[in-house]
Each structure stands twice: as C-alpha cells, then as structure tokens.
Amino acid sequence: MNKQIKQQKVLVEFRNVKKVFGSGKNKITALKNLSFKIFQGQNVSLIGANGAGKTTTVEMIMGINEPTSGRIFYPLSKNKKQMKKDFGIQFQDSTYPSFLYVKDIVNFIIKSYNIKIAEQELEKMVKMFKVESFYNHKASSLSGGQSQRLNILLSLLHKPKLVILDELSTGLDIVVRNEFKKMIKQYAKEQGITIVLISHDANEIMTLADRIIILKKGEIYKDVLVKQFKNANEIEDFIESNIV
C-alpha cells in the first residue's frame, strides 16, 4: 500500500474477521480471517464468484451481521448507531408496499434518518437521479430501471460517508447507465462519499472504482489499484482470469 493511502483516513477496518454460519454438518465458513481497510475517498470494487463472501462482507460492513471472531472498526463513527447513519446501501432488489407512492417512500427515509434537507435540494436530487417523472406514482408500478434509480436516490439522500452500490447498472438502458456512472462519481466526490461497488462490469469499475478487491472462498485473493489497468478490456481480462 503506497504512502499516500497510508495517510488517508480509515472508514472501515476488518481485522482477522471470521464468520461461521450453522454448526456440525451444516457449518459454513463464509469468511476466513479477513483483514482489509476501506479508506475515505478511495472507491472500492468488491468482486467474487457466488459463495466467495461478498454478501457476508457487505452485511458485516453495514453491521447487519456480527463476526464469529475478529473485529470490525469504524474509526470515523462515534458508535454503531452513528455508523448506521454514516453508511448507506443501495440494494439490487427492493420491494415496497403496493399502496405507497414514491414520494411517500422518499419522505419516510428523510424522517427515519432525521435528514435536514431543504425542499429545493430535494427537488434537485429527485431530478438528478431521474426520479421526477414517476415521483407521484405508486412504487408497485415502477419498472426495473425506475426502481433502480429510486434505490440509488434513497441510498444517498442522507449523504453518507460510505455507500454500497449493488450491481448499479441493473435495469438501466445503456444511455442512462453511462450518464448515471459519471453523475454518481461526480456527486460522491462533491459530497465526500466513498463508494463500495459490487459489480463485475469492467466499464463500471473503470469509471467508479480506484481499487479492486477480489474475494475467493472467504479470503482476499487479489487487492489491486485500478490505475494499473489501461482500459476496461484489461480489467475484464483480469476479472475473468481470477474469478473461478
């Protein structure tokens, strides 16, 4: 790790984290002595095949699951309650009650996080994330791409220190996808938000990430900087050769 990274503030640190589910014959070790740091301002792409430990790692970052052994530190958050406010997550699939309107869901998140946001700023964000056209529609009527745009907006409303974006491009057409990647990168930079990207899309990784962590069988298999790759094709080759 270079000198510049060492000087950056740490948002999350995994120290010898192990996670075991079940017992006896049903025992599954999802993470094995996992140690790494996520630095403020360094966007990370977390990659791995099914069963590699991505979901468990994300759940651990968000405090949804506790380690079986080892520890997770949040140096910039005063306590776990504050950590939950400091972090945000965009789920790939979200289901909302059929009777709720999109604007009701947005207002619910604002109240839940006690977000102080002016009406003009909210309107700006709704337009920025292209939610305006269906803001007064029922959530049950949304297409996959519309749901994805809403999920991204909700994850960033409270301007977290860190946001986890899960398969960001799912459901988005290619024009919106390219626009969203650039817009999210710029917005995160302006607001001081660090991104953890769950994606195997080489173009997405090239645009949004500074670092790639590949998990394999609950352990870190590769940890590299994106700047060492010349283009998305090199990233794609790197992923294909290391994901088995």
- Looking at the chain, the whole-number percentage of residues with pLDDT higher than 90 is 72
- The pLDDT of residue 7: 66
Question: pTM (2 decimals)?
Answer: 0.91
Q: What is the pLDDT of residues 30-61, one digit of tens each?
A: 999 999 999 999 999 999 999 999 999 999 99
User: Is 175 in a helix, a strand, or coil?
Assistant: helix
Instruction: Kindly state the average pLDDT of the residues 20-30.
Output: 92
pLDDT over 60 at 4, yes or no? no
Report whether 179 contacts 200 (CB < 8 A).
Answer: no
Tokens of 41: 């301002």
